[in-house]
C-alpha cells in the first residue's frame, strides 16, 4: 500500500458540536494519536470519503471523518509520499 502523505501530530481537538459523551479525543489518545507522533494517510474510502486508513507506528486504523477532523498536524512537517 502506497502512502499518500505523512505528518507529525500537533494536537487533538474535540469536533465542533459533538456531544461530550463521544469523547473522541480521549479515544484517539488511547490509540496513540499523541503530540509528536508521525501519522501517515494510507488511503481514503470509495470516492475519497470514509473510512480514512491511517498509520501510527506499526498499527493501521480506519477513521471516520469526524475522528480524522480532530487530529491537527504541524504543517511544517507534512511530507508528500510518492
In the predicted model, residues of the chain with pLDDT beneath 50 are 2
Of 1, 76, 63, the residue nearest 32 (C-alpha): 63
Q: What is the mean pLDDT of the chain?
A: 82
pTM of the predicted protein model? 0.76
Of 43, 50, 47, 48, the residue nearest 65 (C-alpha): 50
Q: Cell triple for residue 30? A: 488511547
Q: Which CATH number among 2.70.70.10, 2.30.30.90, 3.40.50.620, 1.20.1440.230 corresponds to the domain 5-80? A: 2.30.30.90
The residue length of the chain stands at 82
Q: Cell triple for residue 17? A: 458540536
Running DSSP on this structure, what letter comes out for residue 32? T
pLDDT for the residue numbered 47: 87
What is d(CA 10, CA 77) in angstroms, rounded to the nearest whole number? 10
pLDDT for the residue numbered 10: 80
Amino acid at each position: 500500500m502506497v502512502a499518500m502523505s505523512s505528518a507529525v501530530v500537533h494536537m487533538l481537538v474535540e469536533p465542533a458540536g459533538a456531544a461530550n459523551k463521544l469523547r473522541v479525543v480521549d479515544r484517539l489518545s488511547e490509540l496513540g494519536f499523541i503530540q509528536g507522533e508521525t501519522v501517515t494517510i494510507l488511503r481514503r474510502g470509495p470516492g475519497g470519503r470514509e473510512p480514512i486508513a491511517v498509520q501510527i507506528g506499526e498499527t493501521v486504523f480506519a477513521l471516520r471523518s469526524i475522528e480524522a477532523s480532530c487530529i491537527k498536524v504541524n504543517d511544517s512537517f507534512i511530507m508528500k509520499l510518492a
